[in-house]
Amino acid sequence: MTQAAAFATSLVEQFIQKIEQKTAVIGVVGLGYVGLPLAVEKAKAGFNVIGFDVQASKVEMVNQGINYIGDVVDDDLREIVERKKLRATSDYSFINEVDAVAICVPTPLDTYQQPDTSYVESSAREVAKYLHPGMLVVLESTTYPGTTEELLKPILEESGLVCGKEFFLAYSPERVDPGNKQFNTKNTPKVVGGVTPDCTKVAASMYRAVLDSDVHEVSSPAVAELEKIYENTFRHINIALANEMAILCNKMGINVWEMIDAAKTKPYGFMAFYPGPGLGGHCIPIDPFYLTWKAREYNYHTRLIELAGEINRSMPEFVTERAANLLNQDGKPLKGSTIHLLGVAYKKDIDDIRESPVLHIIDILEERGAHVVYSDPHVLSFKRHGKEYESVDLTEETLKKADLVVITTDHTAFDYDFIGRTAYAVLDTRNALKNAVKPKRYEIL
């Protein structure tokens, strides 16, 4: 064994020993929907954790034990902060103190539907300044295949350290489903792919010490990067199929939800996906387009993915047309009518409005002269295009004042029998009134 190989082996053994003895200090860069739950789970597992974020407000809230993420239990955060197992900072020099760091920063698309890796790059450069021998760096942000090895590795090696020999680098995609009551950060299986076998080994050892789930090792970061995009592309395409069926079923006079429920009685070869007003969130509307962008490098056009995107992006317009048609049944124009939207979050029982299709529905309705109000118990206010919106109480007065109520997010907190009894006309994009009282005018998507 060469001296370099022996040194690398020694660093692997030292890292795993620190993990097993819970003496390793773990850093998490980015304290958002992915990073904060991960930091909390690592601290709960017995590790000392340092969270890094450029937003001073998040740093202050974490250090005060104040939770701002729905998937984190308030008492868990408060307890680990009081026990000094978790602290937050905007000072990246504290990377000097950590044995491993997970990068969990946003990877949005730019105006040209191309990946914006600026947050990943800036985080990597900050880490590189304080990278030290034996340290593990894991990227968790969703991105295109090749990012870890083509982008992160060269930046980190500017430190003078060699990947796989003096420091370890891996990719392990986040699997966060906000509001999911069954699966969370701790019990969702983890995929890990390192630049070298040693990189995979040390990264997997860290996750196995933290999670109550399987850690699945793959041969490279690129495999792990692609499988994450494939997961979300699978959903993206199947939701597009459900949305297209909704459009067709409307023309045919068939209940799309009844049809899908019938199809899912087949015990094999079918998985139920349902239509809606469009796609939202930080993953499904965005991730597939990392792949379409990367595919161009190989002179390949991902036609199915892009067509699915067109269908899903068209749904807010379809909902608006359906609203106009429903108003027309009573001789009312869309212009000047009051439209009451129930829910602006992109999915039920969460406060996340990122990429929410409801925002686009609001834009279209207002462009066409409608007066829009909304109710959402999870999103009390928001700002869009410089305009402030505030949730109104869901009362008999507000429902009766509306010319049309549109159920855009099926929050559990809504009293659907009350809505059905009180509202005159309802367009239900979520099949929320399936088992509730129906109003005089009622249509599903």
Dist CA 137 CA 125 (whole Å): 12
* Residue matched to tokens 């009622």: 442
288-295 vs 221-252: helix crossing angle, rounded to 10: 110
Three-state secondary structure of 18-68: HHHCCCCEEEEECCCCCHHHHHHHHHHCCCEEEEECCCHHHHHHHHCCCCC
Dist CA 176 CA 420 (whole Å): 34
Paired residues of 101 in beta bridges:
27, 137
Q: Which two tokens stand for residue 307?
A: 């067509």
Dist CA 113 CA 226 (whole Å): 18
Instruction: Select which of 104, 199, 249, 283 is catalytic.
Output: 283
Q: Examine the residue annotation and report whether 249 is marked as an active-site residue of this protein.
A: no
Q: Give kind and range of the element (H or E) at residue 404.
A: strand 404-407
Paired residues of 297 in beta bridges:
none
Residues constituting the chain: 445
Dist CA 404 CA 323 (whole Å): 8
Positions marked catalytic:
283
